[in-house]
Amino acid sequence: MLGYLATRLLGYVGVILFGVTFIFFLPRFLPSDPVEAMLGKIQSQGQYMEEAQVEALRSSLTDAFGLKGSLFEQYGRFLKRILITGDFGPSLAMYPTPVSELIRNSLPWTFGLLLSTVLIAWVVGNAVGLIVGTRPNWKISRVLEGIAILVYPIPYYVLGLVLSIFLSYIWPIFPLTTSVQGAPWTWEFVVSVVYNSFLPAASIVLVTFGWWLLSMRALSAAIAEEEFVHYARLKGISERRLLGGYVFRNALLPQVTFLALQLGLMFNGSIICEILFAYPGVGSLIYTAVIQGDYNLLMGTVATSIIAVATATLVVDLVYPLIDPRIRFK
C-alpha cells in the first residue's frame, strides 16, 4: 500500500516539476526578449510612464519571468514562488490585486464546470456505451453510435460556437455571455449558475459523451465475447447481472485509466469554451492575461493549470485500486 502510494506521489511531484521546468525554460528559448516585449506592449497602450516607473516595472517583470540572478538561483526562486508560497505577485492588469486572489476566485468555476461535465458525460457515456456494445443490432444502438461518431471529433469550441449560434442568436433561449445573479448560495444564485453554465457545459458533455460511448462500446463488445461471460450465461445468470457485474465491471477499469489520461485534454477544451462564453473560470483568466499582456497573471494561471490537472490525475489514480480488486498491495 505504502509502496503504491509512494510511487504515485513521486510521479505526481515529477509531473509538476516537469511542467514547471518547461514553462521556466520556455521564455529562454524564444527569439524575443520577453521583458522588453512586454514593456513595449504596456507602453504602446498609451500610458505615459516615468523613467523610474519603467525601471520598477522592468525589475518586476524580470522577476516574474524568473530572470534574476544566476540560472540556478532563478530556478530556485521560480520553484519557490510557484510551489511553496503560491505567490505570483500583483496582477498588472488589475493592479494591485494579487494574482493568487484572482486565481482563487476563478478556480471554483472551472472546477465546478469540469467536475459536473466529466461526471455526467462519463456516467451517461459508459452506460449507453455498454448497451450499444452488447446489443449492437438494436436500431437505437446504431443511431446512438452514429451520433457519437459525428459529434466526438468536433472540438469543444466549434460545438460551443454552433450551440451558441442556434440557442443564443437564432432562438435566444440561453445567454450569450455569463452573468450570474443573486447572492451566493441562494436558490436564485444556483439556478442562475446552472442556466448560465448550460451552453459551455453542454458542448463539453456532448463531445466527451461521444468519446466514452465509443470506447465503452469497443471494450464491452470485446469482453462480451470472452469465455467467462459465456460460461456465466450458460450457468443461467440473469442478463442484468451479466451486464452489470461481468461486462461492465471489467470494462470500467480501462475507462478509469482513460479518464486520468483525458483530464489534461478536457482542461484544454474547457479553456476555449470558457473564453467563448465569457465564463468566469481559469480559462477566461488566461485570456484576460493574454489580452492585457499581464505576465504575472499568465504565469500564475498556467502554473496553476499544470498543478490542478496533475492533482486531478493523481486523485483518479488513487481511486483506481479501490475498484480493481486484482491490484494487491505488498
For residues 119 and 222, which CB has a smaller minimum distance to other proteins in the complex? 222
Long-range residue pairs from 173-178, CB within 8 A, at least 24 positions apart, any chain: 174/198, 174/199, 176/277, 177/277, 177/278, 178/277, 178/278, 178/279, 178/280
| Residue choice 157, 248, 277, 279 for contact with other proteins (CB under 8 A) | 157
19 binds other proteins (CB under 8 A): yes
- Classified as helix, coil or strand, 182 is coil
34 binds other proteins (CB under 8 A): yes
216 binds other proteins (CB under 8 A): no
Q: How many residues does the chain have?
A: 330
**Residue 264 near residue 316 (C-beta atoms within 8 A):** no
Cα–Cα distances in Å, from 112 out to 165, 197, 200, 251? 24, 10, 12, 27
| Residue choice 5, 22, 108, 323 for contact with other proteins (CB under 8 A) | 22
| Minimum separation from the CB atom of position 141 to other proteins (A) | 13
Rounded to whole angstroms, how far apart are CA atoms 101 and 90? 9
For residues 146 and 182, which CB has a smaller minimum distance to other proteins in the complex? 146
Q: Who contacts 42 (Cβ-Cβ below 8 Å, separation ≥6)?
A: 57, 92, 293
Q: How many CA atoms lie within 13 A of 17 on its CB side?
A: 8
Q: Who contacts 153 (Cβ-Cβ below 8 Å, separation ≥6)?
A: none
299 binds other proteins (CB under 8 A): yes
- Classified as helix, coil or strand, 98 is strand
| Residue choice 27, 89, 200, 281 for contact with other proteins (CB under 8 A) | 27
| Residue choice 31, 96, 172, 325 for contact with other proteins (CB under 8 A) | 31
| Residue choice 127, 158, 167, 252 for contact with other proteins (CB under 8 A) | 158
For residues 51 and 225, which CB has a smaller minimum distance to other proteins in the complex? 225
| Residue choice 82, 93, 213, 286 for contact with other proteins (CB under 8 A) | 286
Site for other proteins in 226-245 (CB under 8 A): none
Please identify, among the stretches 1-9, 16-24, 117-125, 241-249, the one whose residues bind other proteins according to the rule CB under 8 A.
16-24
88 binds other proteins (CB under 8 A): no
32 binds other proteins (CB under 8 A): yes
Closest C-alpha among 99, 39, 65, 21 to residue 300:
99
Neighbouring C-beta atoms of residue 322, cutoff 10 Å: 9
Contact residues: other proteins, CB under 8 A? 11, 14-15, 18-19, 22-23, 26-27, 30-32, 34, 37, 41, 149-150, 152-155, 157-158, 161-162, 165, 169, 214, 222, 261, 263-265, 267-269, 271-272, 275-276, 286-287, 289-290, 293, 298-299, 301-302, 305-306, 309-310, 313
